[in-house]
Structure 1
Amino acid sequence: MSTSYALKEWDAQVRALLSGEVSLLLRKGGIMETHDGFEVEHRSFLLYPTFLHQNPQELRSEFAPLLRPDPKPGVVTLPALAEVHSVWKIEDLQQALALQELQALNAAAIERRFHYRGRPWLHALLVRVTRLSAPLHLTETPEMLGCVSWVPLDDTPKAHGERVRTDAELQALHDEIERRLAPHG
């Protein structure tokens, strides 16, 4: 599969996705995307590890060892393809917090993102991650920099590599998320 977009995500979270420790991202946007914030515009994208705004205080403690300085400033290494398996728009903070242990952000970060810009919601994205057999190394251009989530790319090679999680594992995680988001009462 080939794609012409990359999604910026904190380097530590990309590393957690690559390790298979997580397959869930909680995204809000509001970072100069559209007036309404981040939207799941693309169902398939390369992962673009970013060090901009990466905040150690917003990661769960078990993910702190994944933090590192930018190994090669000015060069971005795209290590994997992500395909959206499922998306949930969550408009209840308690539901968002119920997903805490299934992803890398701590409760304070989830709450901050949930309430960002006075719009109480966020997206939960369950993604299938496939490591590229050869990571793509690109020189960062001015168009790639800044506070945007989606980065358009020129022609990119077809992704080949190994999936981080099996279909059965992803389906089990999907079912667990559904269970945690189900109304109780």
Structure 2
Amino acid sequence: MTPTAPSTTALKEWDTQCQALTSGSSALLIRKGGVMETHAGFEVEHRAFLLYPTFLHQNPAELRPEFTPLLREDPQPGRIVLPALAEVVAVHKVESLDQALALEPYQALTAGAIERRFHYRNRPWVHALLLRVRPLREPLVLPETPEMLGCVSWVPLPDMTVEAGPPVLTEEEMERRRLEVEAALSREF
């Protein structure tokens, strides 16, 4: 059975991280928010959303070496290619730098990038989102409109229904990763 889901929101994330999520190389995002976010910063406003790959601000120095080969130029400037539907499996507000750094092996950012995000705007915390990702049967291609631009996390989309394939990770693998992330966050530092 092919899952279909209504989708009216997309989450902007570096293209490299979207590729890692869509391939199953990663299932975790560490988020703080963009410069145009509200004073409170990034919040997990949606439990299901499309991944919106961005090329702006991607920094090879902030990616772990195994993820730098995924860096590429924007294949369709002026258009947004949405590759997958993501569903939030777990979300953690991480308020300890040591705990945030313990998540490095489970996602694409370097420890330095995690630390920079943790301290961004002198608000010491990040969100860690464990995601179940389902590639779309056909990537959704939309023209990039002025409303989509800017350093924000959530982008409203026109009402549409997308057709997604099976998750890139099995339920057993997703559960294993969930337990690893929880174990990393529960360590005493």
TM-score by length of 1: 0.97
1:61 to 62, 65, 70: 65
Q: Note the C-alpha offset of 1:162.
A: 2.3
2:7 to 3, 11, 18: 3
2:50 to 40, 43, 46: 46
Distance 2:16 2:152 in 1: 18
Alignment pair present for 1:80 and 2:84: yes
Aligned to 1:12: 16
Which ranges of 4 or more aligned residues in structure 1 deviate by more than 3 Å?
none
Distance 1:158 1:171 in 2: 25
- Cα deviation digits, residues 25-47 of structure 1 (max 9, x gap): 00011521211100000000000
Aligned to 1:157: 161
SS in 2 for 1:39: coil
**Could you tell me which amino acid in structure 2 is paired with residue 39 of structure 1?**
E
Moved more, 126-135 or 151-160: 151-160
Q: Note the C-alpha offset of 1:3.
A: 1.5
Q: Note the C-alpha offset of 1:168.
A: 1.3
Q: How many residues were matched structurally?
A: 185
SS in 2 for 1:155: strand
Query: Higher strand proportion, which one?
Result: 2
Calculate the aligned-residue CA RMSD, in Å. 1.0
- Cα deviation digits, residues 38-93 of structure 1 (max 9, x gap): 00000000000000111111000110000001111001100100000000000000
TM-score by length of 2: 0.95
2:172 to 159, 168, 172: 168
Distance 1:140 1:100 in 2: 32
Moved more, 152-161 or 139-148: 152-161
SS in 1 for 2:6: coil
User: Which runs of no fewer than 5 residues in structure 2 stay unpaired?
Assistant: none
Aligned to 1:70: 74
Contact 1:31 1:149 in 2 (8 A): no
Aligned to 1:110: 114
